[in-house]
Structure formats: C-alpha cells, structure tokens
Amino acid sequence: MLRTIWNELKATDFDDFLYPKGLLIFNVLLGAGEAIFFWANFGKGIDLIEVGLIALSIFVVFLFWLYARRPKINNSKSIGIVFAIRSDDRKVRKRVRGDLIEGIESFLKSCTPLEEAKVIVEPEHISAKIVSAKDAEKFLTQIAKGHLIVFGKAVEREFLDGEPAYVITTGVYVRHAEIPKKVSEEVGKEFGTFYPMRVAFRTKEEIYGFEVTKNNMALCLGYILGTAALLSRDWLMSYDLFTKLSTLLEEVKEENNATYYQLNRISRKRLAQSAINLSVGHYLEYIRNRSVKSLKKMGKLIEEVNGLGGTNKHSVLLESIFYFLNGRDIANAKKVLKKRIKNRSADHLFSEAFLLAYEEKFTLANNAYTKAFRGTPTSVKDVIFFFEMILGEEPKKWMLWYFLGLIKLKYQVNPDEGLQHLAMLSTNTEVPIGLRQNSQKKLDKLKKII
C-alpha cells in the first residue's frame, strides 16, 4: 500500500496539489510525518505544544495553498499572453506545456515588440472553468488583465483505426480597441480561415505533430496580436509583427502549406496597412519640425507598400505628397496620381489641381478646381493647412494664394481671409497682370452675390 501511495505521489504534479483532494492528502502526510518525528525524538506521546506546531504547519500550508490557487495575472505594463488549456491527463498536460506552449512563447518573444511580453500559463483548476469564448473574454479582461488568451482542451484518445492520438481543441480571444461590428465580423471570419481550432495527430508521431502545431499556432497568434495592434492604432507594433511574420512565411512558402499561403497573403496586406499608417506619422513629424529624416522614412515606407502590392487611395496621396515635398518633384507627383486604384476620391482631384496651380498653369488649374469643387475633400482644414505651409516657404507662389482664397470661400472656412487673399492679388504689382485681373473679376462677382 505504501508503495502505491509513493508511486501516486511521484506521478502527481503541482496542479494536482491545487485541488482540495491534493491539499487533504498533503496535510495528512505532513501531520503524520511530524507526529512520528516528535514521537521518535522527544519522548513518547505528543504534548500540546507539539500538537500546536503540527496545526500551525498545516495552517501555513493551507495559506500557501490558497495563495497558489489564485489565477495568474499580468501585473506588469507589458503585453500579457494567457494560456488556459485544460487536460485531465497529467502526461498530456505536461506535453502541451513543454512542447507546445513553451515553443510558442519562444517564437513570440523572438518578435521585437514581444520581447518583454509576459506569458502566463493558468493552472488546471482555473483552465477547467474557461470553456467558452464568453468565459475567456471575462477572465482575460476582468481577472488576468492580459491582451490575448488561448483556451481549450487537450486529450489523448483513440483514432478510428484504434491507435492513440492527441486531440487539441483551442479558441482565442484578443483585446483591442472598439471597432464597428461589421469590421469585427470580417476580421473574425478571416481569422477562422487559417487558425487551427482542432488538431489531431497520432501519439507515435507526437514529436512531429507538436512541432507542426506549435509553428502553426505561433504564426497565427502573431497575426492575431498584429491585427489587434493595428485595430488599436499601435502602428509600430503591428508593423514590426507583420514584418517578422512575412519574413518567416516567405521562408517556408515552398512547403506548399495552404495555411501558410493564406496567412502570408493576409499578413502582407496587414503589413502594407501598418506601413501606410506609419508613413502618415512620419509625414506629421515632418510637418512639425521639417525633419528630412522623417521625410525619408515616409518615402521608404511608401516604397515598401508598393512592393507589397498594397497600393490604395491613401498610399497614392502620400506618395504624391512625398515626391512634392522631396525636392518639388512635380513630374513624379503627378504621375503617381494617375495610378489605377479603386475608390478615387475628391482628395485626388484636389491634389492634381494643386500641382497644376503650383506649376502656374492657370487655365488647367482652374478647370481642375472647378471639377474638384463638385465634391468635398476628406478634410478641408488639411487642404488649407498644406497650402499655407507651402506658401510659408514660397510666399510668391501667387496662383496658390488665388486658389487658397477660392477654397476658403467655397467651403466657408475663414471666408474673410479668402477675400483678403483675392484683394491682395488684385492690387499687388508683383502679381502677373492676368492673375490680378482674374482676382478682381472674382471679387466683383462676389460683391454682386453679397
């Protein structure tokens, strides 16, 4: 009987101790052991002091047990990645933690933004309570204070042919900024196309099976964290994560793995989105301090977007702005705007018109603005700001003053200033005669309307 108890204890892991049954067995053995020790070393019988010491030690163990049973939480400012994969089988539990979770942790921490991430493995009695996505969301947000949780179950059972196999079923919940329901559904559907919700492989192939599962899950979790960062407007983190993912997926694309192919395609798309958003940040930095370094970073990111095939209406505008700001390369700035893209907006028309005005091609610029004025740019204030920024550098670009005045009047943004621009042009002898006359005509027409 003692041999049976000893073998059972050797097979017991810490998770077993965290159940009431484990505590009871441990305390019984502890109390019995202490009683035998006192009996053998301090005379026959056990006095009240020794009984008190036994009770105290059992109470201390009980307090430690209560402390150890607490859910593990992310009490740092770093990203918290929680694993709550339950299993009744000690052997399976050990393999999942050693061969799967530790491998995933190693991969995630190899990604620059996740070097300081805190990986939390919840004990069995906690994992057993997280059985649905709703449970996972509540636990992650209200208790663990993490950013992502992988929950599910791992078992060893027989395949149809009777051979034993591991079956691992998992789900994922990730925290991110609030987004429209439609976007959330699209991202969820996209995620469901490649994440391995249920994996099964024969026990005799467990080394290969765990390795493949680890790689697939690690790549997918990297994608999920990158997407969450993108949705939460953490452009640098999403950019770094998707750069790492794209590099890794390019290295394994010869494996003809459908999951890797799908993940690589979507990761490149997300990388392009992250690069576009980062380039906006560098553009804003350039505006603040005229940093040539920021401008070069902006251009490099746009070049990367083009290489990824992620060109869209936003990247086209940014690329055109880059060429204009980087040495007033009007030819390339205009060429970029002619790229074939979906959903061209009024912003493109305003950009084309601006470049014509900068070149002082009045008739073409006037026609372009007439067409542009049929719509409204995304931000009239940003259009005006850009005009004023360039005029601050080149105040004698008279035609820009003219169209800036029209924009302010058209969209009623400081319309008095718009009238002042036209009045200045109509009386300034430095202004070409044709532009002076057009400015006066526009003023006379406005006076009749008023």
Distance CA 417, CA 408 (A): 7
CA 258 to chain CA centroid, nearest Å: 23
Amino acid 17: pLDDT = 47
Answer yes or no: are the C-beta atoms of 146 and 81 closer than 8 Å. yes
Amino acid 9: pLDDT = 45
Tracing tokens 């603005």 back to the chain, one arrives at 369
Chunk the chain into consecutive blocks of 10 residues (it has 450) and report each block's average pLDDT, rounded to whole numbers: 46 52 54 55 57 65 67 83 91 90 88 82 90 92 90 87 89 84 78 82 90 88 90 92 88 69 88 95 94 95 92 93 96 91 86 96 95 94 96 96 96 94 94 94 80
Whose CA is closest to 172, among 190, 148, 140? 148
Distance CA 137, CA 135 (A): 6
CA 285 to chain CA centroid, nearest Å: 22
**Phi, psi of 187, rounded to the nearest 5 degrees:** -65, -40
Whose CA is closest to 97, among 120, 73, 74, 114? 120
R_g of the chain, CA atoms, integer Å: 34
Tracing tokens 């560098």 back to the chain, one arrives at 282
Pairing verdict, β 80-86 and 164-174: unpaired
Amino acid 186: pLDDT = 80
Distance CA 365, CA 37 (A): 100
Q: Using the 8-state DSSP alphabet, how is residue 13 labeled?
A: -
Distance CA 427, CA 424 (A): 6
Answer yes or no: are the C-beta atoms of 76 and 84 closer than 8 Å. no
DSSP string of 363-405? HHHHHHHHHHTTS--S-HHHHHHHHHHHHHH-TT-HHHHHHHH
Distance CA 61, CA 59 (A): 5
Amino acid 160: pLDDT = 63
Answer yes or no: are the C-beta atoms of 357 and 341 closer than 8 Å. no
Answer yes or no: are the C-beta atoms of 404 and 388 closer than 8 Å. yes
Whose CA is closest to 368, among 341, 390, 350? 350
Amino acid 341: pLDDT = 77
Distance CA 305, CA 242 (A): 13
